Amino acid sequence: MFNCGSDIEYLDIITINEANLPKVSSPENTNSKYFRVCRACGAKIYFEDIEEYKATCPECDDPDLMNVPLEQDGVTYEVPHKANIPEVNLKLVEITTKKEITIPEKGGIIGKEGTIEPEYMQRFRFLSRKHLEVCYRNRQWFVKDLGSTNGTYLDQATKLKPFEEYQLHHNTVLRLADVKFQVIIE
């Protein structure tokens, strides 16, 4: 006779074992004694010293890794105050109207059907539906033209090649079709 119960029990054991597999960030760094255990994914992330900064968890990109206490051989260090980690914020100021657009840290897409203030973007006739991607990585901001019809320019001269990343710098002018934004990074 077929026994359902034992089958289910067997499957349960497999699942538990896989979930309990230890995760290690990268084997070549395991000589380092400093680590933080990521609260999001449980990975043990090693640090060279107390000062080393990682913007996100290398395993799962969780942005709160630095808020976990640093440990070393059973010693737990203070969590650094958030104020000690300088923020790098990006704001785009539309030059004709002075309208300020704050870009969220997770980045997003600018366009008439983008993720960043799409209702405001509707008014720009020559903007594509998904014109430009903005992303934040390693404390730097990058943009990528998403194959827009009328192009993206940096400081008037440089036309962005579609689907290639360019770094944004403070005080440059970012032009999407005929719409100009002043780049403010602070």
Among residues 109, 99, 104, 78, which one has the least CA distance to residue 89? Answer: 104
Q: Should residue 177 be labelled a site residue for Zn ion when binding is judged by CB under 5 A?
A: no
Q: Should residue 133 be labelled a site residue for Zn ion when binding is judged by CB under 5 A?
A: no
* Residue 111, phi-psi category: left (phi > 0), alpha (psi -120 to 50), beta (remainder): left
Contact region with Zn ion (CB under 5 A), list: 17-25, 62-70, 89-97, 124-132: 62-70
CA pair distance 121, 167, nearest whole angstrom: 22
Among 40, 95, 135, 185, binds Zn ion (CB under 5 A): 40
Contact region with Zn ion (CB under 5 A), list: 5-13, 39-47, 76-84, 142-150: 39-47
Contact region with Zn ion (CB under 5 A), list: 26-34, 49-57, 83-91, 147-155: 49-57
CA pair distance 44, 30, nearest whole angstrom: 10
Nearer to Zn ion, 40 or 93 (CB): 40
**Is 92 buried (19+), middle (13-18) or exposed (0-12) by CB count in 10 A?**
buried
Among 60, 88, 95, 177, binds Zn ion (CB under 5 A): 60
Nearer to Zn ion, 56 or 128 (CB): 56
Backbone φ and ψ for 18, nearest 5 degrees, come out as: -65, -40
- CA within 13 Å, CB half, 99: 11
Give the number of other CB atoms < 10 A from CB of residue 151. Answer: 17
Nearer to Zn ion, 59 or 145 (CB): 59
Among 32, 54, 62, 172, binds Zn ion (CB under 5 A): 62
Among 35, 59, 103, 183, binds Zn ion (CB under 5 A): 59
Q: Should residue 38 be labelled a site residue for Zn ion when binding is judged by CB under 5 A?
A: yes
What letter represents residue 4's amino acid? C
Among 37, 41, 88, 101, binds Zn ion (CB under 5 A): 41
List of residues contacting Zn ion (CB under 5 A): 38, 40-41, 43, 57, 59-60, 62
